[in-house]
Amino acid sequence: MSENDLIKQEVKGTVLNPLPVALVGTQIRGKPNFLVIGYISPFNFGRHIFFSLYKKRFSREGIHENKTFSVNIPSVDLLVETNICGTISGRKFDKSTMFNIFYGELKTAPMIQNCPLNMECEVTEILDYDPNEGIIGKVIKSYANSECFSNGKLDLRKVDPVIWATGGDFNYYQLGGRLQVPET
């Protein structure tokens, strides 16, 4: 194949996807609220989380009020509830009524018992880049449903996370099968 045979086309949006959908939990005026974040990133070997938040989002109030949040990874069987959290504002609908809520060490980071994976995070930095903010949080503790383990290790096939294509067609997907690396 020559260089002239390789045809590239510009991609609108990010090519670093798909990513798991995250339901970010905040406590607003003493009440749990959740919003969908389709582009969330662990860094520092998973000890920190970063996501971008539009300043007009209702959940921003809880993040600023408490300096805490949770990250909840829904399974495919929570697709309807996940979509509601991504399309209806917490100003208009009490999203916590759809879930069983629990709290860990941080008493202001509501987590969703129905989600197979949960992390409670403490805000370490908020970056201002109008009209958004970059939220950086330190992961205080992570939780997983016991049935999501195989041989003592977390098995994402058992988590069955909702995957979001943040570029391309902007749709939900499901995790495929495990790949086997061929012998060399």
Give the whole-angstrom CA distance, residue 129 versus residue 112: 30
Instruction: Supply the pTM of this predicted model.
Output: 0.92
For 50-80, write each residue's pLDDT tens digit.
999 999 999 999 999 999 999 999 999 999 9
For 93-141, write each residue's pLDDT tens digit.
999 999 999 999 999 999 999 999 999 999 999 999 999 999 999 999 9
Structure tokens at 7: 């045809």
* pLDDT bucket at 169, cuts 50 / 70 / 90: confident
CA dihedral 123, 158, 90, 87 (to 10 degrees): 120
- Cβ proximity of 167 and 12 under 8 Å: yes
> What domains sit in the chain, N to C, each tagged with a CATH number?
14-174 (2.30.110.10)
Closest CA to 33 of 77, 93, 87: 93
